[in-house]
Amino acid sequence: MPKTTTFLIFGASGDLTSRLLLPALGQLLQREPDRQVTLLGAGSDDWSAARWKKAVHDAFASSDAADQVSRIGATSYTRADITKAADLKKLLAGIDGPLVMYFAVPPAVTVAACEALAQVTLPDDTVLALEKPFGGDEAGARELNETLTTLVPENRVFRVDHFLGRSTLLNILGVRFANRLIEPVWSADHVASVLVRYDESLALEGRARYYDKAGAMIDMLQSHLLQVLAVLAMEEPVDLDEIDLRDAKSAALRATHIWDDNPVKNSRRARYTAGTIDDRTLPSYVDEDGVDPSRETETLAEIVCEVRTSRWAGVPFTLRSGKAMAEKKAEIVVTFKPVRHIPDGLTGQPADGGVLRIGLSPDRIELELNVNGGDDPFALRRESLSTKIGKSTLLAYTEVLSQLLDGDVALSVRGDAAEECWRIIQPVRDAWARGEVPLEDYPAGSTGPAEWASSQG
């Protein structure tokens, strides 16, 4: 019989737990009938046992898994200050066997709790799961990593990035390494540019407490999109275990820099103003509840990077993400160079080579090619071949929890990679802080500032 894993959530009374973690846990248990989990919650709110059990039931029901509540053991909730060693010792007393501690709390609380854990004896096989951001800059990430390694080995630290969920990551790996058509041309010899974009039609949605301090740069580019870049740019790993795969990603990130080392020319930022998306009328970002206009928080960010390796030198990698956009566009756009010569007799001059689009959500692949035929058999035109990549029915965090409860950290962010991501964006943050890159405006429901049209892909 499989061992029972204790899943202890810090911040159990918070939004992340009820909206993402618990629905995903319910769905996971429904899919994996042999998995054994005991669920424990801890938080700062004074919740009764009845309130906690209702929260668990409602969350499971939201993912059509209410019938799985009986499988999480005698679940309980404890009011606790996880920054105090005494409270942590009480929470961990009596836990035997594999333990996953999930920090669904603000980054500063995570840091303080990890420092307090240094005074606590952890059960064997403890895994620590941390939400982004990992630190607030490169030095802060390094300090946090040093603290974590005094608690457990690096291979038992799971830095959560749901963009690295199994299906999304494996889709990219399959396209890159399993196709003779693609693998030989995946380099600067054939690729003109790469765009990684995650634009969403959602606005702030009540997240000012976190987002107004992070902005699009830290919320999306520094974490999710740089991790996607690493998968696109890395060399082929020997296998997909937690050593080789993460070695390959970290090597790509170490080679990544802001294009031409010029953050002023190669970064842009903007903030949405009042507008309409479908039937929703949105206020300006600065008028959203909880927003401090003096922070000048960007809701749309773009940077251009270069991966300085023999494979990729000279190819611009553009990372872009924005809120309150006209439509959701989550995709990778790889534009290939044009052919060197087109035979006389074929009419028309394609602007570029083929274009490969890999959808991040929904998962889809589209290949744009130059073809001829039809009424004029010599006239070139652009046609697209597209297919869906087996739509996943899993919630984003279901994939994360499956790996996490198995103690498999291969698809999480390794400590050195977290530090490199902060290092890459720091020149941009400094330039923005000095006011060298203007904060532009765009109406909610638009595609961004008009002059950004060249980056639409």
The residues carrying an active-site annotation are: 224
Residue type, 153: P
- Long-range contacts, stretch 386-394, CB < 8 angstroms, 24+ apart: 388/362, 388/363, 388/364, 389/171, 389/359, 389/363, 389/364, 389/365, 390/363, 391/362, 391/363, 392/167, 392/363, 394/27, 394/31, 394/165, 394/167
In angstroms, the CA 94 to CA 76 distance is 14
Helices 166-177 and 396-405: crossing angle in degrees, nearest 10, is 90
Return the structure tokens found at 24. 């995903």
Contact yes or no for 285/456 (Cβ under 8 A): no
**Beta-strand runs (E) in 284-438:** 300-307, 317-322, 329-336, 355-359, 364-373, 376-388
Continuous segment of H or E residues that includes residue 159: strand 157-160
Helices 138-149 and 107-117: crossing angle in degrees, nearest 10, is 30
Alpha helices by DSSP H, listed for 121-243, are: 138-149, 166-177, 208-216, 226-233
175 CB neighbour count, 10 Å cutoff: 20
Residue in the block written with tokens 């996490």: 404
Return the structure tokens found at 383. 């046609």
Contact yes or no for 104/131 (Cβ under 8 A): yes
CA angle 238, 242, 247 (to 5 degrees): 60
Contact yes or no for 225/276 (Cβ under 8 A): no
Q: Find, among 439, 427, 413, the residue nearest to 135 by Cα.
A: 413
In angstroms, the CA 201 to CA 191 distance is 30
